[in-house]
Structure 1
C-alpha cells in the first residue's frame, strides 16, 4: 500500500511541476505502440505532441504480457525478440510530459514497466517494456481497438499484421485479480494461513490503482 501512496504522491508532484515549469524547450522522443497510439488517450493524459512519425522498433515483439487490473488481463509490451519488430508512432514530447508518462505507465514505485532508451536518427528515444512479462494474458476489446484503429491508418504496417492482431483473443469478463506477484511478492514465503488474506489484499490494491490511474487533483490545469 505504501508503494501506491508514494506513486500517487509522485504522480501529483509531476503534474504540479508540469504546470509550474513546463520547460517546453526540453523535449524527447517517445515510441508509442499501445493505448497511447490513440489521440483520445493523449488528450485524456494532456500530452502535447510537437512532431510525430511512424516507426518500426526492431528486435522486439508485441505481446500482451503486462499484467493488468483483472484476472488474465494484459496490456501491450514491446518484449525483446531478435528478428521481430513492433510498429508504432514516435512522438516528440516535453521532458516534463515524459516524466508524467512514467507515472501513467507505472514506472516509479509500482515497477510495472522498465523504461528502455535507444536512438533514432542519432537522437535518444524511449519506450516501455514489462518488468515481469507473463504469458496467457488478454487485452480488452477497447484496448485492442486502440492499436488496430491506429495500425489501419499507418502505411508502414502490413495488412496481414493488423489482421493477425484483430484475431487476438480478448478478455470478455472482467473478474477481480486473483493472483499475487505485484503488491504481494513471493507468496510461498508467507504462512499458508495468510494466503487468502494476501490474495484479497492484492485484489484491492489493483482496484485502487485502477481507480487512481488517470485521475489527478491538478492535472486539469495543464494546457496542451
Structure 2
C-alpha cells in the first residue's frame, strides 16, 4: 500500500480522516536531510503553511500514514494545492520498521517567501501530531511564533476552521 508523510497540519490524524477517510495506520516517521520551514505562502498575505527544504544533517519529524487505497493520495491533492502550490515527491521516510518510501508534498517553485508566520489554528494541527514526535521536536513546534486573532473568513481562506478539523 502507498504511504503519505505529513509534517504540517495533516499530522493531526483527525484532520486526515476528515479529508481522505480512514487510513490503515499511522506511525512516527523522520525525513532525513530536510528541515521544516514556515515559508510556503498561503492565500492570505503574511501567513505561512509548512514546507520542507533539503538541508544536509537536519531532520523533519512527522506522521507516516499507510493509505487504504492508492486513490487517497489524489484525494489529498486538493487540500495540499497540488500541483500548483505543492509538488508531490516520493522520498524515503525512516521509521521503527526501517525506511519506507512515501509521498511528501514540497512547495512548488515560486510558492515560498520570507517573513511569514503560521496561523495559531494551523499550528495547533501540527501540535496535535504529538504522538508521532519526540518531546524536543514537539516543544520546538510549540515555540513557533504564530499569528493569532484571525477572523472566520480569513481562517476559511486558509483552509482552517475553529469548528471542524477539516
Written as runs of structure 1 = structure 2, the 5 A alignment for 1:200-211 is 210=157
1:122 deviates by 6.3
Task: State the secondary structure of the residue aligned to 2:117.
Answer: coil
Equivalent position to 2:31, from 57, 60, 72: 57
> Which of 67, 86, 90 is the aligned partner of 1:117?
90
Q: Which sits farther off after the overlay, 92-101 or 164-173?
A: 164-173
2:76 paired with 1:129: no
Structure that is richer in helix per residue:
1
What RMSD in Å do the two structures reach over aligned CA positions?
2.4
Q: After TM superposition, give the deviation of residue 82 of structure 1 in Å.
A: 1.0
Tell me the number of residue pairs that the alignment of Structure 1 and Structure 2 aligns.
150
Is it true that 1:146 corresponds to 2:125 in the alignment? yes
So what's the TM-score if we normalise by structure 2? 0.79
Deviation at 1:210, TM superposition (A): 3.4
CA displacement at 1:85 relative to structure 2: 0.6
From 105, 128, 148, the equivalent of 2:80 is 105
Q: Which has the larger radius of gyration?
A: 1
Shift of 1:74: 0.5
Can you give the 5+ residue segments of structure 2 that lack an aligned partner in the other structure? 161-166
Structure having the larger proportion of residues in strand? 2
TM-score by length of 1: 0.60
Q: Which has the higher contact order (CA 8 A, sep 6+)?
A: 2
